Amino acid sequence: MKDYFASKSVEFLQRESSGVDRKLVIMTALSGISNALLLAVVNKAISPDFLQKPDPKYFLYFALCIGMFIYSLRYLLYHSSEIIEEAVDKVRTRLVDKVLKCDLRTLETIGDSDIYTRISRETSSISQNMRSIFMAAQSSVMVMFTVLYIAFISIPAFLISMSMILFATYIYLRNRKTLEQNLYESSQEEDALFDTITDVLSGFKELKMNRAKSVDVRSHFRKRSGGVRRTRANVMLEFANNYVFAETFFYVLIGTIVFIMPAVSNEFGDTVVKVVTAILFLIGPLTNTVMQIPILSEVQLSVNNIYGLEDKIDTLVKGEDIDSDDKIENAENFDKIKLKELIFSYKDPDGAPSFTAGPFDFEINRGEVLFIVGGNGSGKTTLMKLMTALYFPDEGEILLDDTKVTRQNSQSYRELFSVIFAEFHLFSKLYGMQQVNPEKVKELLELMEIDHKTDFKDSGFTNLNLSTGQRKRLALIVTYLEDKEIYVFDEWAADQDPHFRRYFYYTLVPELKKRGKTVIAVSHDDRYFSEADRVLSMDFGQVTEISNGRSEG
């Protein structure tokens, strides 16, 4: 099984890095050989002839062997780490690239926790544990040459040692399925536990408001945590059994050499010390080789999980060219956006539609202010995601003037928008904006009355630990600086005090319109509907236009 996992690990490194080169293989072998040579020099040094007449050259041999061991082992550890980190970096970067190129619905289908676990925990496991393959290889070389040295000393001792080692290896490998199963169960339980931790942190407010829900989540978490404890304990039990078995095996082997061999052969008494010394040298590397097997198994499980996530992403995108980025010429000079018979359905695990939004059939004119109203669950957020091409419709199409928005040119279309969703994320830095006037940012921070909470330094904000309203005002600053053609605000004013609500509707929106920007705002503030050119109402995934806009004002 060690050879299987080692070969799979080497295959991973060969695929994801510059590969295991010849020098690294030589240094791995040299590190093991030097250990066996040290054994030969030590055995020579403790012989009666040497003790009666010491020969200085053996000290030189000893020093050379130590120097060779140090150099080769240091080279092995350092360069193997370079190869491993290169492979991990390549995999981690490729995964993030694929995630960023996915559409939103694909990402939602996979789930944040699955992606986060694979990119963080699995790559970390490979980084920490992949070195085991090189240590196991080095130990295997040491074992091989030490066994050959025993054969040089005594053929009977060699035959006994090899017979017992092969028998012990057979016993160990026979039980490998239990270890593999425990490792797999442990990985599954840890994934489930991570999901529950995400529930605790993301749903903290809801849990504080509902004791029964909190108790239920706590009970579920304890069950999951207990499952992890059980499976990890089972892994460690197998690990402990293997360790005890390996240690006991060596004592039995030494006992056989010391007590049985001299009784069987009188000639063996002269070599018993050398053989025992060789076996003592053998204990460390052979134990290390055996103990690396569960670690290598865990590495292979991590590799499989990572490749499994990649396969899942590739399957969900259905072979489409996610790298394509066709441009829409002069997109920023558009006259209108037309949503034409747009339909989108959420589906349950069986593939049956669970909620359908649409058909949406209306136009958005350049430079107009459009308000969208509707209750919770009416489909407003789905409409926003369709309108911005974060979701792709099951039926219908979006036309930018006469150009159809497709998966291939959707990024060019999305570049028209600057959006603050109801559930938004604030980045600590102004990514994508290379030339920003710090004084302008600080003026905006003062205008939004959050300059006492955060500052702008080194292309980023010094503090994001703000209230919901303050975070939305900071997000507004970012969208303002992006200076896109279309602004989308999903209930931005909902968490603002009256002062900033009035500023938003009476100052900001008219200013954006005056600059020729298109503004789409989800709003429940009917007192401000007069500031819109049109107001659309949503209910059960359907849109109707109501005449409360600027046209009546």
Residue pLDDT, tens place only, 450-492: 888 888 887 788 888 888 888 888 888 888 888 889 999 888 8
CB 257 within 8 A of CB 276: yes
CB 24 within 8 A of CB 79: yes
Residue 440 pLDDT: 87
Segments making up each domain of the chain, as ranges? 2-316, 331-546
Query: What per-residue confidence (pLDDT) applies to 338?
Result: 92
The series of mean pLDDT values per 10 residues for the chain, 553 residues long, is 54 76 81 79 70 73 86 83 84 82 78 76 79 76 80 81 79 68 73 73 65 76 80 76 74 77 64 77 73 73 82 72 71 88 80 76 89 80 87 89 87 87 80 80 86 84 84 87 88 82 88 90 81 84 66 44
pLDDT value at residue 3? 45
Both tokens of residue 401? 């003037």
Top CATH class, 2-316? mainly alpha
Summarize pLDDT for 244-261 with one digit per residue, the tens.
777 777 778 777 777 777
Q: Do domains 2-316 and 331-546 have the same CATH topology?
A: no
Q: Do the beta carbons of residue 185 and residue 231 sit within 8 Å?
A: yes
Within the chain, what is the greatest distance between any pair of CA atoms?
116
Task: Give the Cα separation of 193 and 378 in Å (integer).
Answer: 33
Residues 6+ apart with CB under 8 A from 224: 189, 192, 193, 196
Question: Within a 10 A sphere around the Cβ of 429, how many other Cβ atoms?
Answer: 10
Q: Positive or negative CA dihedral for 205, 207, 211, 213? A: positive
Architecture of the domain whose range is 331-546 = 3-Layer(aba) Sandwich (3.40)
The CA distance from 87 to 194, in Å, is 25
Helix 131-153 vs helix 272-316: crossing angle, to nearest 10 = 150
Each residue of 363-408: pLDDT tens digit? 889 999 988 888 777 778 888 888 888 888 888 889 998 889 888 8
pLDDT for the residue 188: 74
Whole-number pLDDT of residue 176: 64
pLDDT in the model for residue 487: 92
Q: Which residue, 234, 128, 242, 243, is CA-closest to 188?
A: 234
Alpha-carbon distance of 411 to 409, in angstroms, equals 6
Q: Are 28 and 141 in contact (CB under 8 A)?
A: yes
DSSP state, 499?
Answer: H
Q: Are strands 369-374 and 534-539 parallel, antiparallel or unpaired?
A: parallel
Contact 372, 521 (CB under 8 A): yes
